[in-house]
Amino acid sequence: MAKNIKNEILVPIDFSEQSLIALGQSYNLAREYDAEILLLHIIDDGGLLPKLSAGKHLSNMKKEILKKLDKLAAETSKESKVKVDTMIARGKTYEKIIEVAEMTDALMIIMGHNSRKKIQARFIGSNALRVVREATCPVITIKGKHHREGCKNIVLPLDLTKETRDKVRQAIEFAKLGTFKAAIRVVSVLQNTDEFLVNKLTRQLDQVKTYIQNQDVECTAEIVKLQKGDETLAHCIIDYANKVDGDLLIIMTQQEANFTRMFIGSTAQEIVNRSDIPVLSIIPQMRKYKASHDNR
């Protein structure tokens, strides 16, 4: 059973293909941050499980799960050269992920995400999106099946909001990771042709590009136009990320500090749901990564 320790990357595991893909993507980050990996399996209390999982049946179920989890932990540790711990929890999946992340002061959560192709409601329905909504640490969601080892191109969508500095800081930190040494591809989507806004956006991108380059990180900056028709802002960003062979998309999920936790921006939600490129979701003015890393 895991203990409350610092510098852990939490990886929820249900033994599905997507959760195992997410686990594989955690190796480099765990090594870079000198972090341990915590495998968390949740026995979901939803549906008929409470009625079927009483007494001896539940005990046997936990033993079988723990056996599989320990085997996976041993294989993961051998392959990644990182210490791997395990935990089993019972309850609602997204609530337990958030609870364990807070209890262990997790560095970040990396989790697989299987989404529906079309999401009609803006209120969050899947476990991954609920975790993105509620978590106080960064969350990387992995939807695609095939990913390059490491990270060469970080895609950073920017607009004119005040939270730009938070996203830029996070992108620079990831870009400077030893095994990554990634370039940052800044993109902004032009939604109208107002000359004042165009000029303001151009100046901002130039400033951001210069700032990133002064941090010894390769950077490009580009403005793309939102096409007519059914294309959304999220579509435009994802298309650009695919065009530049992006390995990580960084987005802001809560645009206002006092915004209700039951709600995130529709563009952020659509990017998480549709992008086959891993998505790093952060909130404005989130805490910095562990002091143990910052001071190394």
Could you give the residue range(s) of every CATH 3.40.50.620 domain in the chain? 8-112, 153-294
Residue 293 has pLDDT above 90, yes or no: no
Question: How much is the average pLDDT of 260-283?
Answer: 79
How far is it, in rounded angstroms, from Cα 127 to Cα 95? Answer: 9
**Half-sphere exposure for 213 (CA within 13 Å, toward CB):** 11
Tell me how far apart the alpha carbons of residues 99 and 104 are, in angstroms, rounded to a whole number: 9
Phi, psi of 249, rounded to the nearest 5 degrees:
-105, 130
**In angstroms, rounded to a whole number, what is the distance separating the alpha carbons of residues 51 and 48?**
6
Using CA atoms, how far apart are residues 234 and 223, in angstroms rounded to an integer? 14
pLDDT more than 90, % of the chain? 52
Whose CA is closest to 166, among 237, 102, 254? Answer: 254
Cβ distance 255 to 282 under 8 Å? no
| CATH architecture designation of domain 8-112 | 3-Layer(aba) Sandwich (3.40)
3-state secondary structure at position 64: helix
**Prediction pTM value:** 0.84
Architecture of domain 153-294 in this structure: 3-Layer(aba) Sandwich (3.40)
* Lowest mean pLDDT across 68-82, 114-128, 147-161: 114-128
